Amino acid sequence: MSQQLIFFDIDGTLLDHDKQLPESTRQAVQALKDKGHEVAIATGRAPFMFAKLRKELDIQTYVSYNGQYVVLQGRVIHTNPLDKQALQALTDIAVLHNHPIVYMDHEDMKANVPHHDYIVESIDTLKIDNFPAHDPHYFKEREIYQSLLFCQEKEEDFYEERFKQFDFIRWHPVSVDVIPAGGSKAKGIAKITQKLEIEPENVFAFGDGLNDIEMLKTVRNSIAMGNAHDLAKKAAKYITSSVDEDGILHGLQKVGLLD
């Protein structure tokens, strides 16, 4: 079998609902590598949010920030930052509505308010060591690849109408990702496949969330987890079992990458 390129989302795909890596997933990833395949991550997370996972699985290729910061075998090959003027305007309006914002670059994240319950509630679900400190000017001198806007469901509609420079993708009941318009995991994946010169039929992707839809629609061999959002399942070519029911292993077996 020629070399295959396999992308995995993290939350709800590689990691279960307790943010643990199932042993069957760990073994499956190693088996892929033993066969000479390129294993990669495609996530909405910041690079610093999954450094431990990359080390644990020895993965050096990843699409982070939903495609805005792309690394191939340890080297940055693509970045797509948010427009600073538009981000300032978004911040000004969000402040008026008591909707806090977190600014994220490749190294850290900072909040424009000292404290807000929505920030605590959503970030805590990620079960990471990092928590955004207060620095309302963080975005002014740095390239920001993604922001988090904290608001109730459907409240992002107000911002979508006013800021065509951005896409707003909900990942939590009180938080949405803010990325450059048209940015996606699919575009980040394309940067890697082009560099590696791997044919579309040799690319695979696993995902479960709303931010995986474009990836699952675009990648030739796409697999939605059994626990995936219904729209993600509709976008995928295949559906496997849930993350906590050996979904990665079964999915890899279903598409013929593992016995």
Model pTM score? 0.92
Contacts of 88 by beta carbon, 8 Å cutoff, 6+ apart? 139
Would you state the pLDDT for residue 212?
Answer: 96
Q: Which residues pair with 239 in a beta bridge?
A: 224
- Structural domains present in the chain: 5-79+183-254 (3.40.50.1000), 84-180 (3.30.1240.10)
In one letter, which amino acid is 187?
Answer: K
For residue 101, the model assigns a pLDDT of: 98
Pairing of β 5-8 and β 75-79: unpaired
Alpha-carbon dihedral sign for residues 74, 178, 172, 218: negative
The predicted pLDDT at position 211 comes to: 92
- The reported pLDDT for the residue numbered 129 is 87
Consecutive 10-residue averages of pLDDT for the chain (259 residues): 93 96 98 97 96 97 97 97 98 98 97 97 92 96 97 96 96 96 96 96 96 96 98 98 98 96
Residues facing residue 204 across a β-bridge: 6, 221
Which pair of tokens denotes residue 88?
A: 């300032």
φ, ψ of residue 134 to 5 degrees: the values are -90, 120
Q: SS3 letters for the chain?
A: CCCCEEEECCECCCECCCCCCCHHHHHHHHHHHHCCCEEEEECCCCHHHCHHHHHHHCCCCEEEHHHCEEEECCEEEEECCCCHHHHHHHHHHHHHCCCCEEEECCCCEEECCCCCHHHHHHHHCCCCCCCCEECCCHHHHCCCCEEEECCCCCCHHHHHHHCCCEEEEEEECCEEEEEECCCCHHHHHHHHHHHHCCCHHHEEEEECCHHHHHHHHHCCEEEECCCCCHHHHHHCCEECCCHHHCHHHHHHHHCCCCC
Q: Give me the active site residues, please.
A: 9
Give the integer Cα–Cα distance in Å for 240 and 6. Answer: 15
